[in-house]
Each structure stands twice: as structure tokens, then as C-alpha cells.
Amino acid sequence: MSVVYGKDTPKLGFGLMRLPKRGFAIDVEQVKTMVDLFLDAGFTYFDTAFVYPGSEPAIRKALVERHRRDSFTLATKLNARVAPTEKAAKKQFAASLERTGAGYFDYYLLHALMENNYERYEKFRLWDFVREQKEKGLIRNLGFSFHAGPQLLDRLLTEHPEVDFVQLQINYADWENPKVTSRANYETARRHGKLITVMEPVKGGSLANPPQEVQNVFRAINPYMSCASWAIRFVASLDGILTVLSGMSNVGQMEDNLSYMKNFRPLNEEEQEAIRQAQRILGNSSTIPCTACRYCVEGCPQQIRIPDIFAAMNRQLGNGQMAAAREAYFSAAHEGHRAADCVECRQCENVCPQHLPITDYLKTAAEMFPAKSRE
């Protein structure tokens, strides 16, 4: 079997950021089962990154050491934000090759470019570096993932026409979100003739369980399709999509995604109208648009589990589940690591791909869940 690049790539990709765990370690045996199910269904695209804890070694054990190299495509990423020097940044490439044992990367990306870090990639001469690796045959397709607006995206694609593809956050909830600018970024990439890999199609899992009003819209058309399926099929129905990454965390999620993507059918007009109705509903939603990427957690001096706190808040804000929200909050926020313990250093806001006012949200969480609420 030889892997086909480009427009014929199956429309579902396996995102490896949220792999299942046993305790604190990745559950490699479950990942093996998920990998086998994915490949057996005809899918080939696996996406990891240097900064995803344990992900590259896990996919070596679950995929690379168990399947022919020409039966899958593997993507990983170089993150300049975590590199103190140019030398350290460039070492990530060799480290990823060693961790994965892949020999080469089918897709290689400069990771999470946005307004406050894109110049670092220029400063460290990383565009030239990855182009050299491609010339050596160690990279087959070169791209970058992106978390900013269309003006910067247009500039980067104009200055770097050698890019083969771009990875964008696209989902129906953020299609017209002025902070995420899904539609404008999509249209910019297509105007430059670039294929697109899609990240966060289910918005960190929140669109798998949207507000009840949205669920009612979807179930009125098809009561048997999961809410996640609507989100993934929405982006897979767009032109120019290379593949849609789903960060699957267990076998059940894998089986659900395969059930409707194995024989992918684009949304018909009735289904497109249902998506538009859902977008109108979500336009009035007060939920926090956190995708649980967890970039904010690593540098938090108080070790506050910010995405988990936001998920608890959304149970109340989006679905009115006050008791369940309190339970989830106090499960995530232990003494000394609660929302009220935020010191307002704002390092979390500097790395947030969604550009969320995290400090303000934590103040709201502290008000929503005072300590006595646990009683």
C-alpha cells in the first residue's frame, strides 16, 4: 500500500494530543487498538507534536513499530516558544525523529504561529531549516499551524510560498468568531491555493455536547448521529480540506468517528441549514470557548487546571447543570490551585491560541464556586 498525498487523503485524521491514559501515563495498549481500527478503516493521517507529552514515543510503539511505513502518514511539529535558543529549536527535529522512529515525516509543521511568536520563527531561521530538511527528503510536505487573524496569515503565505499546507482551527461555532476568524482564515488559505488540515473541529470536545437547544436541532433531523459527527462533517464538507483532525481519547470515540467518516458524505442542504441554526443559537451562548489544548497549564505558577475549571463552568453556563458544575469544579480545583488563587501573571493569556481573557474568567469562576459551595 502506498500513501496518497493531497486531495485523495481520507478526510479523518487521528490527532494525538489527547491520548487515553492509565493514571498519569499514556495507555499504549488502548492506543494500539485505536491505531489498528483507524488503519483498518482506510485512514492514514496521524498528527502529533514535539510538545505533546509522551505522544511521540507512544505513537512509535503503537504505530511505527507495528505497521509498514508506507501504510500511514505522520505529522509532527516544531515549537519555537519552548526553545530558549535557535540551536535548541532545531534540535527538536532530530528529537522527534528519534522519538517516533519514523525515518522521515510526511507532514512537518512550524507550531502554533500567532502574533506574539511568529517573529521568533524568523529570528531562529526555522523556515530555512525546515526547507533544508525537505530538500534532504526528511520532510515530504511542509506547513504550519496558525492561531491568529487573516492579515498575518496572508502575510506568512505571501512570504513563504513554499508552504504546502496550513493547519487552521475551523469549526461551525467559530466560523464567524471575531477572535478565531475561522471563515476568514479558511478563505485566505484557499486564496493562496493551500490545502488545509483542520484542528479543533469539535472545539476541544465542547461541540460533542453542545447546549441542549443545539442538540435538539440535530436530533430532529437524525436522532442517531452524534453531535460530534455534525461538527466533523461540517469542516470535512468544505473545499480544499486535506484532512480533519479529531483528538480521540478512547476506543468509543474512535468507533463513533469511523462510523460516519468511513463512507463520508458531505452535508446536504437540510443539514447545512441545521448548522446555520446551531450557529445562531451559539451566537447567544455565554459558554467559554476553551478548546482544552492545555498550553496555559504548563507555566501557571499556581498550577491551576484552567481548562478543567472552564469545563466545569460551561456545564452551568451552557446546560444549567449547577450541581454537576460544582462537583466538576471541586474535582479539578484543589486547595491552593483554585480559581481564586490566580496571581494575575497572565502568562496563560500570552500562550492561549484562542486569545481568551483567562484571568477574567478565573475571577468569574471564583465567584461562581466559592469554597462554601462545596458543602
Residue 277, pLDDT above cutoff 80? yes
Would you state the pLDDT for residue 166?
98
Would you state the pLDDT for residue 233?
97
Length of the chain equals 375
Q: What's 5's DSSP letter?
A: P
Q: How far apart are CA 352 and CA 57, in angstroms?
A: 26
The CA-atom distances, in angstroms, between 172 and each of 44, 168, 230, 261, 286 are 25, 13, 9, 18, 16
Residue 326, pLDDT above cutoff 70? yes
Give me 92's grid cell.
Answer: 527538536
| Banded model confidence at residue 286, pLDDT cuts 50, 70, 90 | confident
Residue 356, pLDDT above cutoff 70? yes
Percent of the chain with pLDDT over 90: 89
Would you state the pLDDT for residue 2?
39
State the pTM of this model: 0.89
Would you state the pLDDT for residue 6?
55
Would you state the pLDDT for residue 263?
93
Residues in Cβ contact with 340 at an 8 Å cutoff, skipping those fewer than 6 apart? 362, 366
Would you state the pLDDT for residue 372?
57
Residue 202, pLDDT above cutoff 80? yes
More confident residue, 3 or 263: 263
Query: Can you name the residues that pair with 165 across neighbouring β-strands?
Result: 143, 195
Q: How far apart are CA 225 and CA 351, in angstroms?
A: 35
Q: How far apart are CA 145 and CA 199, in angstroms?
A: 9
Mean predicted confidence (pLDDT) in 312-339: 90
